[in-house]
Amino acid sequence: MAKKAEDKAPEEAPATDLANEFADLGRAMRDALNAAWNSEERRQLQTEIRSGLNQLADEMEAAAKKIRDSEAGQKVESKAKQARDDIHSGKVGDEMRGALGSALRAARDAIDKVAESFTPMEEPGVEFDPIDMEKAKGKDK
């Protein structure tokens, strides 16, 4: 009995070699980037950007000089020198150490208050036993 046309399996398309397709895409991208990089448009844009950045730097330098020479600029410079001297003398470190100590004590006090606010359980529960660091050190020896 002869097979009908609809009973035939469809012809399979040839398998695509994905590795070759990726390689071709990579080459095309490389060629496009090379063409863009070596173009006259890129060179003109680079020249414009370089010129613009030089002008920006000149303007910024002029503005900085104007600020440095102003009374407000002199005050800022003086304060900056004072801050630098305070840092070098250790004054800032001492102040920071004191402030950090106060903050840590305040945090500890707040945690103590929270812990005290809990109502104890009527049944004995598992009690938290913090590690005694001195005992722990002795065990290692």
Mention every residue, 6+ apart, whose C-beta is less than 8 A from residue 55: none
Q: Highest mean pLDDT range out of 42-51, 79-88, 117-126?
A: 42-51
Q: Which two tokens stand for residue 18?
A: 């994905």
Average confidence score pLDDT of the chain: 82
Two tokens, residue 70: 């102003």
Tell me the residue length of the chain: 141
Handedness of CA 100, 103, 109, 115 (dihedral sign): negative
Question: Whole-angstrom Cα distance, residue 114 to residue 110?
Answer: 6
Residue 5 has pLDDT above 60, yes or no: no
Is residue 53 within 8 A of residue 47, CB to CB? The reply is no
pLDDT in tens, 16-31: 789 999 999 999 999 9
Average the pLDDT over 5-14 and give the result: 60
Give tens-digit pLDDT for 67-94: 888 998 888 889 888 888 888 888 878 8
Q: What is the pTM of this model?
A: 0.37
